[in-house]
Amino acid sequence: MDSAELELLTATLRKTMTTTPSGPALDTALTELGWRELLAEYPESAIRTVFGLLGETGAHASSLNDVMGGGTPALPYAGGAWVVWSPTGPGTALDPELPLRTVPSGRSLPVSAGRRALGWWLVGTGHAMLTLARTHALDRVQFGRPLASFQAVRHRLAETLVALEGAEATLIAATDPLGSLLAKAAAGEAALTAARHCQQVLGGIGFTAEHPLHRHLRRALVLDGLLGSARELTREAGARLRAEGSAPRLVHL
């Protein structure tokens, strides 16, 4: 897939996600656009594009089930819990906007591709929060000056961008299970950094249900726990490196 084709696909997907209701309707729309065929032929481009846009637009679809092999597999969640991505069925929903339901147990599955997908979703969510905070900082005037002119505000926005771009670089470099684990951890940490800084930049309005930030913030918190939270994955990586006594080269520069 060349750059022109990818650009056209991205524009089409973005329009679809912003005009189609999340859930079954969006699942159908993505299927009609050839999401599964794209995943089979160009897996990394498909994952990066679709899940990044899910984060940026605030939409949700069951695409993660496709990445995990199809069906509705039980997925590990933070704290030793298990969940399924299903709009119906027993179990407690983790979030009113996401069809993630708790189940008693599950079986071990290959999770590397799923972690990369969630990583791009988290990065996209972080960029959505950064856009909201940046727009507010440019439009809001305090003490006769735009909020964006204050150094403390600019530092928070800059730190958010650096964290998100660092997570993107880690996701691009991830080619094996350890790299995918570290990339998901970096993306989760970046999204949580974005949530913290952007809420501070937005001030009081960022704590209200009237502003869209709270939806992205909640999405970041829920997605961070899926297939291992940033904290758990960091501990797991550290334990693995201690046990092996060395750190593998993840990127060849």
Q: Which range among 13-17, 113-117, 244-248 shows the weakest confidence by mean pLDDT?
A: 244-248
Q: Does 235 lie in the same domain as 183?
A: yes
Q: What is the pTM of this model?
A: 0.94
Task: Enter the DSSP assignment of 226.
Answer: B
User: Do 9 and 33 belong together in one domain?
Assistant: yes
pLDDT of residue 16: 97
**Shared-domain flag, residues 53 and 150:** no
pLDDT digits (tens, 9 = 90+) for 33-63: 999 999 999 999 999 999 999 999 999 999 9
Weakest mean pLDDT among 13-17, 20-24, 244-248: 244-248
Domain count, the chain: 3
Question: Is residue 212 domain-resident?
Answer: yes
Q: Are both 58 and 148 inside the same structural domain?
A: no
* Residue ending a domain, choose from 108, 123, 156: 108
152 lies in the same domain as 213: yes
Indicate whether 92 and 206 sit together in one domain: no
Give the pLDDT of residue 42. Answer: 94
Question: Is the distance from CB of 70 to CB of 50 less than 8 angstroms?
Answer: no
CATH code of the domain in which 148 resides:
1.20.140.10
Report pLDDT for 8: 92
Whether residue 90 is predicted with pLDDT greater than 80 in this model: the reply is no
Give the pLDDT confidence of 146-202 residue by residue, as tens digits.
Answer: 877 788 889 999 999 999 999 999 999 998 999 999 999 999 999 999 999 999 998
On whether both 66 and 134 belong to a single domain, the answer is: no
Q: 76-80, 89-93, 222-226 — which is least confidently predicted?
A: 89-93
Tell me the β-bridge partners of 226. 77
Per residue in 96-109, pLDDT tens? 889 999 999 989 89
**How many Å apart are CA 148 and CA 164, to the nearest integer?**
20
Positive or negative CA dihedral for 132, 133, 134, 140?
positive
Q: Please give the residue range of the domain that contains residue 165.
A: 115-244
Mark whether 170 and 128 lie in a shared domain. yes
170 plus 240 within the same structural domain: yes
Band the pLDDT of 253: cuts 50, 70, 90.
low
Give domain status of residue 59, yes or no: yes
Q: Where are the beta strands (DSSP E) in 109-148?
A: 141-142, 145-146
One-letter amino acid at 172 equals I
For residue 251, is it within any domain?
Answer: no
- Assigned domain for 229 exists: yes
251 backbone dihedrals φ, ψ, rounded to 5°: -135, 130
Q: Measuring CA to CA, how many Å separate 57 from each of 14, 22, 69, 178, 252?
A: 7, 10, 25, 29, 34
* Rounded average pLDDT over 69-92: 91
pLDDT (mean) for 110-130: 97
User: Do residues 61 and 85 make contact, with C-beta atoms less than 8 angstroms apart?
Assistant: no
**Mean pLDDT calculated for residue range 17-32:** 96
Q: What are the tens digits of pLDDT across the range 186-225? A: 999 999 999 999 999 988 777 777 788 999 999 999 999 9
**pLDDT of amino acid 250:** 74
Q: Is the pLDDT of residue 92 over 90?
A: no
Q: Which helix (H) or strand (E) holds 117?
A: helix 112-139
pLDDT at 144 over 90: no
| pLDDT tens, residue by residue, 218-227 | 999 999 999 9
| DSSP H/E element including 97 | none
* Residues 167, 170, 175: CA angle, nearest 5 degrees: 145
